[in-house]
Amino acid sequence: AQSVTQPDIHITVSEGASLELRCNYSYGATPYLFWYVQSPGQGLQLLLKYFSGDTLVQGIKGFEAEFKRSQSSFNLRKPSVHWSDAAEYFCAVGDNTDKLIFGTGTRLQVFP
């Protein structure tokens, strides 16, 4: 069965600093990979997704993620973090059964 690991529960960065959120997955075939962001008490907003093709995926709000099959990773990056990026970030993997399996999430805190 597929699974997703987000090793970092909580990350704190200064505004303007670069950011990398880690995501590792376990799945036998080529996975469908997603990053979502959730503000407190809200639903999830899709940042980006990977199905196939170029392994570097560009998303909204200046985020990007790179699929590395050899490392079973799909890390999320942003070159310069804004205070409004403070939120909970979830990595998810999907398969051909339509289900999305979510990681445990990483809470991002941004200091001015």
Partner 1 sequence: GAVVSQHPSRVICKSGTSVKIECRSLDFQATTMFWYRQFPKQSLMLMATSNEGSKATYEQGVEKDKFLINHASLTLSTLTVTSAHPEDSSFYICSARRTGGLNGGYGYTFGSGTRLTVV
**By C-beta, is 10 or 16 nearer to partner 1?**
10
| Coil, strand or helix at 54 | coil
Cβ distance 102 to 90 under 8 Å? Answer: yes
Residue 5 buriedness (CB in 10 A; 0-12 / 13-18 / 19+): middle
In whole angstroms, how close is the CB of 29 to partner 1 at the nearest point? 14
Q: How many residues bind partner 1 (CB under 8 A)?
A: 22
Cβ distance 31 to 2 under 8 Å? Answer: yes
In whole angstroms, how close is the CB of 53 to partner 1 at the nearest point? 9
By CB under 8 A, residue 104 contacts partner 1:
yes
Interacting residues toward partner 1 by CB under 8 A: 32, 34, 36, 41-46, 49, 51, 90, 94, 98-105, 107
